[in-house]
Amino acid sequence: MGARAPAFWFAPAGWQASLLSPAALVYGRVAARRMERAPRRPATAPLICVGNFTLGGGGKTPAALALAEAARARGLRPGFLTRGHGGAARLPLLVDPDRHGAGLVGDEALLLAEAAPTAVSPDRAAGAILLRHAGCDLFLMDDGFQSAQLRADVALLVVDGARGLGNGRVFPAGPLRAPLEAQWPLADAILVVGEGEAGDAVARRAAAEGRPVHRARLAVLDAASLRGARCLAFAGIADPGKFHRSLAEAGAVVEARRDFPDHHPFGEADAGALLAEAEAKGLVPVTTAKDHVRLAGGGPRARALAEASRVLRVALRFGDAGAPDALIAAALRSFGAR
């Protein structure tokens, strides 16, 4: 089960962050040592790591999907590498959406597998072997920047424009996965998704570090189907505020909202309560694509909720249409020079 990021992570550091500073110091030292010293194995195909500085969602999966689309336009056969967060799989597995559910491979893996071959494995190198056997000639690693398992040809770090790096503290005092001084040297490029001063601040730091900065936004697909709809909005994602902003962009009227922890496994009680509330208030249940795939693999009430719900689908659009191709070209050059 996931957890909701505490609000103090995204506010100026206060007493909570100070109280957790000793634990953050220990966690940060371990994370930094792993990033700096662990041997990164070379992949057998060009590898783009789509990661972020912080815990939680920042748009990594939409960014990986956008890069896969650009790779196919170049005539490449991309494949996705992911740990399968929220799933129970512990051995390398090539995802089959017709056979595997979110409980086994995680919700993000199912979404990725709709677009390209997807390997789920805590051991990213073992997953890469599966993708190579599947005929993939470009690996897109969704997350895994801090794991130090594979050498990335391009490490693209995604930053949420509204949240940025939060209070700038390391977990658990803040959202950073490792101290910034350990992360910046391994970052090749930054992608800021959405608008906001917090994201602009990271962009300025990236420019000072000599890293290229790309910009993108999340565009709602098929917004007409949601325009004017009176909705019960429910989601189990890291930043539910992003979901609600996208609904507002689509013109939906959110009459009620129910936020759950990230990767929340919707049980029959959850689904039954949401269905009952939507029916009693005459509302249309609306959720995210990630939540929808978890519901579809659940029990009878969860599946009924999945059938009754409309799905807010989004796609990442780069500000510079040539940016994805440039990132892929850089990965191909780096791989060729190895």
Annotated binding site: 54-61
Give whole-number Cα distances, 294 to 175, 210, 241, 291, 302, in Å. 25, 40, 20, 5, 9
On whether the CB atoms of residues 81 and 127 are closer than 8 A, the answer is: yes
**DSSP string of 215-263?**
EEEEEEESGGGTTT-EEEEEE-SS-HHHHHHHHHHHT-EEEEEEE--TT
- What is the Cα–Cα distance from 259 to 253, expressed in whole angstroms? 16
Contact 6, 54 (CB under 8 A): no
CB 159 within 8 A of CB 193: yes
In this structure, the number of other CB atoms found within 10 A of the CB of residue 200 comes to: 15
Q: How far is CA 12 from CA 84, 86, 173, 176, in A?
A: 32, 30, 11, 14
Tokens (6 digits) for 74: 């170049």
Annotated binding site for ATP: 54-61
Residue 174 in contact with residue 137, Cβ under 8 Å?
A: no
In the chain, % helix, strand, coil (3-state, to 5) comes to: 40, 20, 35
CB 280 within 8 A of CB 232: no
Can you list the pairs that 120-123 forms with residues at least 24 positions away whose Cβ atoms lie under 8 Å? Answer: 120/82, 120/83, 120/84, 120/87, 120/89, 120/92, 120/93, 120/95, 121/81, 121/83, 121/84, 121/89, 121/91, 121/92, 121/93, 122/83, 122/84, 122/90, 123/92, 123/149
